[in-house]
Structure 1
């Protein structure tokens, strides 16, 4: 079984700054993942051609099931507000998604509140800026694989140091209510050492993923609780394939499950 996580940067290419469905589809198809967690996902956004990027990824994977979970309504970096209810779905949305080739028997969405204050963030194009943090979400699914049920979750945590640790603790607590084995995929906006210190979970894939053009840090992770490792099986491949989109590399792990 192949699990992957990919921060899409809403499908934008760093080479020309544009978004094309075929580039997103090619990057996803190259992963050949059975379950894929996506972050920075647009839905009906003008900046990405009104595409439903979750649906684009699902078609490229040949996946039977997919779900998008909105974190904000509007466009990050411009005008936005927290997503509150299905009434907001008539507007441009931004969030995370899970795509699966296997059936899903249960979904769970957990809200992860934003940091309460503006925080500095370095933008290569605009320098140091004080930004309002966005709310985040955890999207989890109980997936029925040929080897049995598996809980897979994805999230994209805050860039604010310390606050992302608080969100990660909240996410791990939420996953305790779902059946094991459990795997967390996502852009956690922190390196491996604090992730392990906070959660006790083990990394299934250790490779730098950011920035994509010269990766130096691992911000994207595939994690499992130590008790779940025997049921998940042996890791036979870890990869960070190159893609024509995003400032993150996708992270892929191939498991030989018993």
Structure 2
């Protein structure tokens, strides 16, 4: 079942990227962020799948990809997760501007600007996640009857990673969550207010038409009585 889910996820993300890149009409700011999100998700899957597949055929936590593979796979997983978070946040901000400030959106919400933001997101995430290339190591583990078995683990004591993990929590989870809640709340308020305004305007228009019809009917009755 896990393999099926992984295959469907990979296929879905690949199709999103291909469709947006191949279809000219699909090249919008929103879809630019979706492509970035799909690539980031693919990166997480690519980094996780080999180890999951190998786990069916090797012993326990055995690592077969070597020292460089250990750092690279961990780096790619964190990079994909963090870029996903930042891409969703950027998409949310773009939607907020488009809905709540439509006049500004004509200049701000462009494909060129979206591409620059996405490039900035990836550069920031690459720099931020790069320490993981050096914060992991492979070390031997001992199973009875087995020799030369290694596992991928932390290079330092776990307490030294607390600051890094806390920064991850704040930058890529807490802050995006709070910002998204605020922006979607503002979007909902604008949409709800506009809906009420349209309903009131429609009601006033109908009342005005009924008033005109009643005036015409009254005038016609008066004219008939005079005649």
Q: TM over 0.5: same fold?
A: no
User: Shorter-chain TM-score category?
Assistant: under 0.3
Q: Give me the TM-score of the superposition, normalised by structure 2.
A: 0.24
Name the one with the larger strand percent: 1
Normalized per residue, the structure richer in helix is 2
Bigger radius of gyration among the two: 2
